[in-house]
Amino acid sequence: MNSRKNIVSLLLLGLTLIIPLSTFADMDADDELTKRGTVDDDYYAAGGEVDIEAEIAGDLVTAGGDLFIGRRIEGDVMAAGGIIKIRGEVKDDVRIAGGQLNIDAIIGDDLAASGGSIKLSPGTSVGGEAWLAGGDVTMAGTITKNLKIIAGNIRLSGTVHGDVELEGGDIQILEGAQIYGNLHYRSPGQAGIDPNAGIVGELTHEVVEWDYSEHGFGILFSLTLVAAAILLFWLFPKFTVSSASRIASEPWKSLGVGTGLLLVTPVIAIILMTIVLGVWIGLSVLALYCVALLLGFLIACFFVADRGAKLMKKDIHSTGSRLVSVTLAIILIGFVSIIPVIGGLMLFALLLLGLGAGASQLRFVYRHSGDEN
């Protein structure tokens, strides 16, 4: 369906194109980060737990595990994390992606959100349009313009002054819901519509098959990659940066080593598994192989982030700027990956480059540590 492609594309494209990379202004990064008071410019923050209860004159860009955003933001809010809670007032757009999203805020313009669970409280108001994509979506707030939702389970009890488009496995229009425009929904069966719900415009239903794995995998996978990238950098910052730099300095070597590991490792594991005493060793090799593939791709994402920063002549040596940049890189890669043929080839090339660079860096570290001993 064109609508589902449009929503996912808007979520991905919006997060990548509207973030003002030209101005890495005030920036903080820590495992536990708390911000209070006022900020006279844009503010960038990254951490395991980020608590922002401040008045920010510009945009807010943040990434981390648990994000708490309050008070008053004069510009946009862009956030990616595990749990995101937004309260207070945001004068412009809000674009967020995470595992669990709770919004209890006044938003001046548009809202774009993707996540496992999305909840808009009755006190939430959106001055523009809202695009929501996730596993479970509950919308009890007020939307001034149009509302579009793609989710496995949809619960709508709020007010929408424009048109509503819904697509999901289970759709419920609850008591108290008021839709002043048209309601068009796509689902395998009829939606549950409470008799006391108000629908002023035309009501239409399009029967479609629904498979949440098809709709939600890309979003949740991107979120998982962001979390894994942040964890990798916090645990092994020097290794991560050095491996990403190795792709730039030794691209052909990285590509060759990555191709060799990709082809040879499964063969070795299978050979080991044919030997009675080597079954568990072979399974262990396969498990490490899967981990290596993930690490290789993450290293490539850091490489893309570094290259992008260099092209824009931006310094990302601080922890916060690097985590924000790799988050944007992962989202950008996710958007490009949907392009037929080219997207798949790009992902494969990045995987090989990252795998080879990571292996080469490990070998370098091992040999260097041996020399020191």
Q: How many CB atoms lie within 10 A of CB 21?
A: 17
Residues 6+ apart with CB under 8 A from 345: none
Residues 218-242: what's their mean pLDDT? 78
Answer whether residue 6 shows pLDDT above 50.
no
Residue 23 has pLDDT above 50, yes or no: no
Residue 19 confidence (pLDDT): 40
Distance CA 98, CA 92 (A): 20
Measured distance CA(114)–CA(30) in Å, rounded: 25
Q: What is the DSSP letter of 113?
A: E
Terminal alpha carbon distance of the chain:
61
Provide the pLDDT for residue 30: 61
- Of 290 and 106, the one with more pLDDT: 106
Distance CA 148, CA 361 (A): 46
pTM of the model: 0.62
Highest mean pLDDT of the ranges 159-173, 218-232, 271-285, 289-303: 159-173
Q: What is the pLDDT of residue 278?
A: 66
Contacts of 32 (CB under 8 A, 6+ apart): 47, 48, 49
**Tokens standing for 194?**
């409470």
Tens digits of residue pLDDT in 233-253: 877 888 889 999 999 899 999
Q: Give the mean model confidence (pLDDT) for residues 243-265.
A: 90
Backbone conformation region of residue 274, classed left if phi is above 0, alpha if psi is from -120 to 50, else beta: alpha
Of 51, 76, 50, the residue nearest 63 (C-alpha): 50
User: Residue 177 has what pLDDT?
Assistant: 95
**What pLDDT, on a 0 to 100 scale, did the predictor assign at position 203?**
93
pLDDT at 129 over 90: yes
Domain residue extents for the chain: 2-210, 236-372
pLDDT of residue 105: 96
Q: Which residue has the tokens 């101005």?
A: 23
Averaged pLDDT, 65-92 = 88
* 315 close to 22: Cβ distance less than 8 angstroms: no
Q: Give the range with max mean pLDDT: 10-14, 258-262, 270-274.
A: 258-262
Phi, psi dihedral angles at 14 (to 5 degrees)? -60, -45
Q: How confident is the model at residue 370, as a pLDDT? A: 56
pLDDT tens digits, one per residue of 48-65: 788 999 999 988 878 777
- How far apart are the C-alpha atoms of 129 and 53, rounded to whole Å? 26
Instruction: Give the pLDDT mean for 173-191.
Output: 93
* DSSP character at residue 174: -
pLDDT of residue 343: 76
Give the DSSP letter string of 241-284: HHHHHHHHH-HHHHHHHHHHHHHHHHHHHHHHHHSGGGHHHHHH
pLDDT of residue 306: 86
